[in-house]
Structure 1
Amino acid sequence: MNKYKKSKYNVSFEEDNKVIFVNYLTRAIATVDKEKAEMIKEILREPNREWKEEYKKLKDDLIYGGYLVNKYFDELQHLKMLNYISRYDTSSPVFTILSTLQCNFDCVYCYESKEGPSMTQETAQEISDYLCEIATKKRKISIGWFGGEPLVNFDVIKLINRNVIETCDKYHTDFVSSISTNGYLLDEDKAKYFDELDIKNVQITFDGPPQYHNKYRPLKGGKGTFETIYNNTKRLLEMTKETHISLRVNVGVENYDKIPELLEMFDDFPKERIRIYFRWIFQASEDNREFYAKLHEFKGLNSFKKISKFYIEAAKKGFKVFFPILTQNRYCEYDSVSSTVIGPKGEIYPCTVAIAKGAVFGKVTKNGIEYEKEKYLYWHKPDAFEDEECKNCKILPICMGGCRNARLQGSKGCPEEKRDVEHFAKVWYFTKTLENKCKICEVEK
């Protein structure tokens, strides 16, 4: 008879008259009444007793959900395999391309220079040739546009996407494209190309309702940007058939209490094509230290708990909420040998928050990408499965070691969700429950 043990990645909590059991490894979520919860706890304490009748059925359910695992099953090794497959799989390369380092905004918290080169047509053609060659050999290729503000140099986006799409069509290669833009230049003349260019996902940032967004994210010179971006976002959804919007909402001290007001403003948007997530304003520069000091004090020790209420509020309003930490078997897209960040001169960076002088570790050439091997290997060196704290962390299945760039800068790189793993499980449960209720309502209509 098989012997079983309790999974290392179980979390449970009470809500009203129910008990919710979550497993971070399998992503299982189970809701039971308190009587059954006590039975489950008995089984988890002594999984190898000879359970009968209802207890036996509950035990089978626990095995199915991964709350109980075979006594000889090494969960850590299983996680390691999942992570390594994700990190070293080269079948579907992802390219993030910076069409320019220039930006038309003057955000108070920006960590980029806002100035710099834009990609020339000649460089774009060279990169396009390289990507087309890759597309002939892979089953899928993804291109994400970044900056600076990528729409400052829209002609380059059109050139590269068109060429790669043509090659993908010829060789039956799947093609995916996205863009991270501030949205100000996303006017009708550009929006009309998005279906043709297969740009299916657009990330746009809003920092609260107009009075706060305009303060945090003005144009150079100080002019507000909210109204233009809001109208451009609405028009893009009207003009395209399949483009989805990822709304990133940056939260700070001043706009914290006004985030619900922002959600109200998007209430009549097509929610089936919008997903939303919330992040504290990101400190990545030494400028404006007083601003960051106030934010750090305001967030407190459990910053995720404080921001998590917005996920629930958004889900209650029918929005799809998005937890980046739950999307893949690695921390982020740049934690992979298949992910490449290409700068406007064809230079190669490790990730989009490591775009600085000295961070370059390669270049696109006529012979493909030539890497500085020492820098490249150094970037990929950190490994959560060689770190004792990570190996014993309950949230490892959804974190996979945290931010690689932060680790190399001397900090741990842990996500803020780690500070209260039970509360994260609660928020995840609530939002999934609300999302499923909305789906039921849509069917009933």
Structure 2
Amino acid sequence: MKKSNYNYIFEVKDGKKLAFNSMSCALAEIDQDFSDVLENIENIDIDTVNEQKKELIENMRQGNYIIDDAVDELKQIKFRHFKGKYENNSLSITIAPTLNCNFKCPYCYETPDTHIMDEAVQQSIIDRVEKQLQTVKNVQVTWYGGEPLLAKDIIWNVSEKIMNLCEQYGANYYSFIVSNGYLIDDETIENLIKYKITNIQVTIDGPKEIHDKRRIQKSGKGSFDKILYNVKKLKEKGFNINIRINIDKTNVARVEELLDILKLNDLNGLSITLGQVTAYTQACSSVSGSCLNNEEYAVTSLDIQKILNDKEFEVQDYPYYPGIKANYCCADQINAFVIDPWGDMYKCWNDIGLKEKSVGNITKELEENDDINQVMNQIDWLTQNPFDEEDCVECDLLPICMGGCPYNKKENKKLSCEKWKYNMKEILAYTYQNSL
């Protein structure tokens, strides 16, 4: 046997040592026996060691700290990545029935448009799903915008037809919606349940004073009170709710106040996700000066994780603790698309509505596409991989980063390493100490 190339070993307080393996995400407190085995594993005859050492070796093997001689970990990572990239057993589509929105958030990267998806595009989506159901066994639909609930009838219509098709073909159906949460009412809740859209992300950017300056209605009025009320109603109805907090330099100091408000309203059982405000497009370039860079965000996210734990929010798993990635997101998977109101298809949410970034149109089969620019856009996304980067190949965090955001790499022509690069020791030490 031999030791893994993806071990991360360091000291914490009181001279204790921790070992993390990024191929398995195992974390363990280790002693000298562990270190001795790790350093001498190539010379150890496992059949002749005592039972105590044999048990230690087996535990180290399960955590991937030591591996069989025949194992090539980099090839395993490549296989996992390309398998995920070209896997065709699942279909993931993000549908934006409109790019219109009832808010005018200053950091929004989209250019709003009042166009509503017509029936021909809706039918093309349904037809594409039915064709894909000849091979796929899982269909995941995410409703997106703009604000998707400005086009509720489209959501209900398309959802019902896709649900029926999945039932007909014996496929699993999953649905999720990203909403600002303002347009939710009793009838909407009933329909969300009816059409199995019981997973919802709603953004709250701080206490009322802060949120109402960032999540602004087009009328100029705030939205905090109504969104908080609607989130409480959703919780009462059993929805899986993710509260997203988009953080930058202007609101990060007030996040704790928001968490106090959520806890006061019995909402500390909800999932909390931090969003790093980034000036992705020209539409949101005005906020670039207030954005946190990746290193600043790493430090901030750990500080907030500690606050979340103190306030009894559940934050032990990803994205607060490293998770193994095969692919970074839907952008680098062949069977995942974002569809705008005109039927244009994209690989990344950030590109939606930018026609020059499209990879095709849902009304036309991809293999029949004669637009060379769209063809090359698709190829660019799917041929991009971290193994072309020497820094990635040599990095012991590759399995949990996979080169970082592919959009950033594609647009900026440079790596955008995950936050783990900047605070790995601190996040692991905190996870360990919090588990005691």
TM-score, length-scaled by structure 2: 0.89
**Structure 1 SS opposite 2:273:** strand
The letter for the 1-side match of 2:35 is K
Aligned to 1:26: 24
The letter for the 1-side match of 2:199 is N
Q: Pairwise mapping of residues 149-160 of structure 1 onto structure 2 (< 5 A)?
A: 149-160=147-158
Name the CA distance, whole Å, in 2 between partners of 1:202 and 1:369. 34
2:351 to 354, 358, 371: 354
Aligned to 1:61: 59
1:276 to 269, 272, 276: 272
**Structure 2 SS opposite 1:44:** helix
**Structure 1 SS opposite 2:12:** strand
Question: Do the aligned partners of 1:104 and 1:114 also contact (CA within 8 Å) in 2?
Answer: no
Aligned to 2:397: 395
Aligned to 1:303: 297
Matched, 1:383 2:381: no
Question: Do the aligned partners of 1:330 and 1:399 also contact (CA within 8 Å) in 2?
Answer: no
Matched, 1:135 2:129: no
Question: Do the aligned partners of 1:184 and 1:229 also contact (CA within 8 Å) in 2?
Answer: yes
Report percent identity of matched pairs: 27
The letter for the 2-side match of 1:285 is T
Instruction: List per-residue Cα deviations over 1:85-128 (Å, max 9, x = no partner).
Output: 11110101100111111111111111111224221233212322
Name the CA distance, whole Å, in 2 between partners of 1:382 and 1:62. 34
Aligned to 2:318: 323
1:40 to 34, 37, 40: 34
**CA separation of 1:151 and 1:171: change in aligned 2, threshold 3 A:** same
**CA separation of 1:200 and 1:13: change in aligned 2, threshold 3 A:** farther
Instruction: List per-residue Cα deviations over 1:322-373 (Å, max 9, x = no partner).
Output: 6347264211122200111111111111210112231112011265775432
Gaps of 5+ in 1: 435-445
Question: Do the aligned partners of 1:95 and 1:342 also contact (CA within 8 Å) in 2?
Answer: yes
Gaps of 5+ in 2: none
1:265 to 261, 264, 273: 261
Instruction: List per-residue Cα deviations over 1:408-437 (Å, max 9, x = no partner).
Output: 112313223222332343355567x39xxx
Aligned to 1:212: 210
Name the CA distance, whole Å, in 2 between partners of 1:27 and 1:101. 39
**CA separation of 1:350 and 1:60: change in aligned 2, threshold 3 A:** same
Aligned residues: 422
Deviation at 1:396, TM superposition (A): 0.8
Instruction: List per-residue Cα deviations over 1:165-197 (Å, max 9, x = no partner).
Output: 111112221000001111111222211111111
Deviation at 1:205, TM superposition (A): 1.1
1:244 to 219, 240, 245: 240
Aligned to 1:440: none
**Structure 2 SS opposite 1:193:** helix
Deviation at 1:17, TM superposition (A): 6.9
Name the CA distance, whole Å, in 2 between partners of 1:192 and 1:426. 44
Q: Pairwise mapping of residues 352-431 of structure 1 onto structure 2 (< 5 A)?
A: 352-355=349-352, 356-365=354-363, 370-371=368-369, 372-409=374-411, 410-427=413-430, 429=432
Aligned to 1:333: 330
The more displaced of 41-50 and 217-226 is 41-50
Aligned to 1:441: none
Deviation at 1:9, TM superposition (A): 3.4
Name the CA distance, whole Å, in 1 between partners of 2:324 and 2:313. 17
The letter for the 2-side match of 1:373 is V
Question: Do the aligned partners of 1:135 and 1:173 also contact (CA within 8 Å) in 2?
Answer: yes
**Structure 2 SS opposite 1:176:** strand
Deviation at 1:406, TM superposition (A): 1.4
Question: Do the aligned partners of 1:395 and 1:421 also contact (CA within 8 Å) in 2?
Answer: no
Name the CA distance, whole Å, in 2 between partners of 1:192 and 1:222. 29
Instruction: List per-residue Cα deviations over 1:25-67 (Å, max 9, x = no partner).
Output: 11212235xxxx2222222222234454544432222112101
The letter for the 2-side match of 1:254 is T
Name the CA distance, whole Å, in 2 between partners of 1:141 and 1:264. 37
Name the CA distance, whole Å, in 2 between partners of 1:94 and 1:386. 26
**CA separation of 1:369 and 1:75: change in aligned 2, threshold 3 A:** same
**Structure 2 SS opposite 1:117:** coil
Higher helix share: 2
Question: Do the aligned partners of 1:118 and 1:153 also contact (CA within 8 Å) in 2?
Answer: yes
The letter for the 2-side match of 1:226 is F
The letter for the 2-side match of 1:237 is K
TM-score, length-scaled by structure 1: 0.87
